[in-house]
Amino acid sequence: MNKQEHESAPDRLGEYLIGKKIGAGGMGSVYLATNVHTDQLVAIKILPSALAREPGFVERFHREIEALKKMHNPYVIEFYDSGVENDIYYYVMEYVDGETLTKRLRREKRIDWKTVVEISIQICSALKAAHDAGIIHRDLKPSNLMLKEDGTVKLADFGVAQLFATEKLTVTGGIIGTAEYMSPEQAEGKRVSRQSDLYSLGAVMYVMLTGKPPFSGKTMLAIIQKQKYGQFDKPSRYVDDLPIWLEEIVCQLLEKDPQKRFPDAYVLSRRLQEVLNKYEMSTSEDTYALSGTSDVSVTPTVVQSASDQEAGSGTLMQGLMRAQLEADSTGSRLSRLFDNTFFLLGILLLLVLGGYYWFQERELTQEEMYNEAELILNQPENPEWYTARDKYLIPLLESDPNKWESQVRPKLKQIQVYVTRTEAGMSGKRKLRSVTQTEPQRFIMLAQHYRDAGNLVQAEIVLSALVDALHADKEQKEMRAVAEQMLKELRDNANRTAKRYVMLTQSMANADALFQKKKYQEAEAVWKALIVLYGQDPNEVAQKEINKAKQNLAKLPELIQAEESTTETQKAEPENE
């Protein structure tokens, strides 16, 4: 057995002989292995010992195991066994003799729509099993989908799902996933749901149909911005024979608002099956029509007499029509009542009046008005915030200022921030400088531009300076309040971000310590793992540490040589003395 083939993996773990490496990820590498008792081929995932000593990795590895144990589905990789030997943690799973969807797409570019539907129905079954077990996959993409020769799909890699299995682990994570297939809410670091996985499935279906993801870009940040705000081309632009029913499904899956997507994977699978059923029905009707024409053309011509024709199908239809008319004319008393025009008009009038009084909006209490406003403001910024202000909050303040001042005023201030941003052109549809903008508006927009670009430091500098500059300007009191609110939001987010990256900074410090102890391979393993986990996170804190890790890896041979030279020099000095 070639040792280089499986790097630092042992020749044997438990009752499994380790073979060649067949996959890799941030939480370990996957090897082909053989059960020594049954000769069964399996896949074994190994957590390197260097990562096992890092905080949180073993716990996450165990959670991935627990996730697989919970799921029993023909379209999910089957879990077999797990264990630890000589500080090496591993688990054994089903080996799929096939290829990833990524590999197939590279070879075929596109997949015909019927096969896409069949693959997607199987993925729905796998996702339903995961969601029923309380697990959100979070990283559904072509490379995590294995295709067997018989067309069976196997969903793999629940490692990212388990990074967020508990609140304890959530706070140490960042934006983790693959940008091209990441839902908008996941890209914003918000709480994800089963609809987030359905969005990812929509992106996978899109790339299978068209050969390209719905959004692409030169950088991960650019793709994420498009996921949040961009509009994709409809699949029919690239696929000529695509049924409209299937395109509607894909477009609904890629809705920005999770509530506008399908409620769950089961409902989606039924809709996908309907596409196949509708297509079969439409084609069978066409076939029936064609076959009927063919029968007429090949039937021998028979000349019929006039009397024969009169006694044929026309006579039969005439009799049937007469019988139906007679039956209709002798209905019951109730049926005759419903045939009465005046009776039906009376019923209609009652329904209209009843509906009017039923839907007549009653006057809300003050508490109900406040609750309605809160419901609207708990949603992301949108034009409905104007409704909350004009319909609920301002009337509340006018009706009883003593009671509502302390509760309503902060919310009006929150809405004013949104209004000012909108009026200043902060949607990105205007240029940074406009003749209609005041100077404070321009600087607020500039700060927003820096924030959206990920340059939080520069955004904070601009806002802090603006707050100080407007301190004594009574005419700009409103703009100063907006700047203060934005600055507060920025700093609050920065504090949450710092807590979120505790594991990253701690692991980087541990890797540096390992390097100083001349444990170069272990330090290298930690740096590589962190790059996989955080390499696509656009946050400044993450990027700073990841750039440092990349620089260390690039300079590793040089650093090792310098370290060894220093050691040799230190050893030589006593001899010279």
Of all residues in the chain, the percent with pLDDT exceeding 70 is 74
Task: State residue 115's pLDDT score.
Answer: 95
Whether the per-residue pLDDT at 495 is higher than 60: the answer is: yes
- DSSP single-letter state for residue 453: T
CA distance 97 to 37: 20
Whether the per-residue pLDDT at 260 is higher than 90: the answer is: yes
How does pLDDT run across 131-144, given as a tens digit for each residue?
888 888 888 999 88
Q: Which of 288-292, 345-349, 504-508 has the lowest mean pLDDT?
A: 288-292
- DSSP single-letter state for residue 54: S
> Domain 98-288: which topology?
Transferase(Phosphotransferase); domain 1 (1.10.510)
Q: Could you tell me whether strands 28-35 and 41-47 are parallel, antiparallel, or unpaired per DSSP bridges?
A: antiparallel
CB contact set of 210 (below 8 Å; sequence gap of 6+): 110, 235, 238, 239
User: 3-state DSSP call for residue 131?
Assistant: helix
DSSP class per residue in 192-244: P-HHHHHHHHHHHHHHHHHSS-S---SSHHHHHHHHHH--PPPGGGT-TT--H
Q: Which of 187-196, 224-233, 342-351 has the lowest mean pLDDT?
A: 342-351
- DSSP single-letter state for residue 76: B
Mean pLDDT computed over 389-394: 86
How does pLDDT run across 292-312, given as a tens digit for each residue?
444 433 333 333 433 344 444
Residue type, 444: I
Cα first-last separation, the chain:
50
C-alpha closest to that of 539 among 221, 177, 169: 221
CB contact set of 114 (below 8 Å; sequence gap of 6+): 276, 279
Greater model confidence, 308 or 126: 126
- Buried b / exposed e over 172-184, threshold 16 CB at 10 Å, is bbbbbbbbbbbbb
Residue 85 — φ and ψ, nearest 5°?
-145, 120
User: 3-state DSSP call for residue 172?
Assistant: coil
Q: Which of 171-180, 268-277, 422-431, 516-525 has the lowest mean pLDDT?
A: 422-431
Whether the per-residue pLDDT at 394 is higher than 80: the answer is: yes
Whether the per-residue pLDDT at 325 is higher than 80: the answer is: no
Residue 212, annotated as binding a ligand: no
> CATH number of the domain at 1-95, please?
3.30.200.20
Task: State residue 18's pLDDT score.
Answer: 92
Domain ranges of the chain: 1-95, 98-288, 366-499, 501-569
Greater model confidence, 37 or 532: 37
Task: Tell me the helices (H) and strands (E) count for the chain, helix number first.
Answer: 26, 9
The residue with tokens 């390992």 is: 514
Whether the per-residue pLDDT at 450 is higher than 70: the answer is: yes
Task: Return mean pLDDT, the chain.
Answer: 77
The CA dihedral of 333, 336, 338, 342, to the nearest 10 degrees, is -120
Q: What value, to the nearest 5°, has the Cα angle with vertex 84 and ends 134 and 4?
A: 105
Task: State residue 541's pLDDT score.
Answer: 76
C-alpha closest to that of 232 among 212, 249, 258: 212
Task: State residue 168's pLDDT score.
Answer: 35
Q: Contacts from 226-234 at CB under 8 Å and sequence distance 24+?
A: 227/179, 227/182, 227/183, 227/184, 227/187, 228/184, 228/187, 228/188, 228/256, 229/428, 232/206
Greater model confidence, 347 or 398: 398
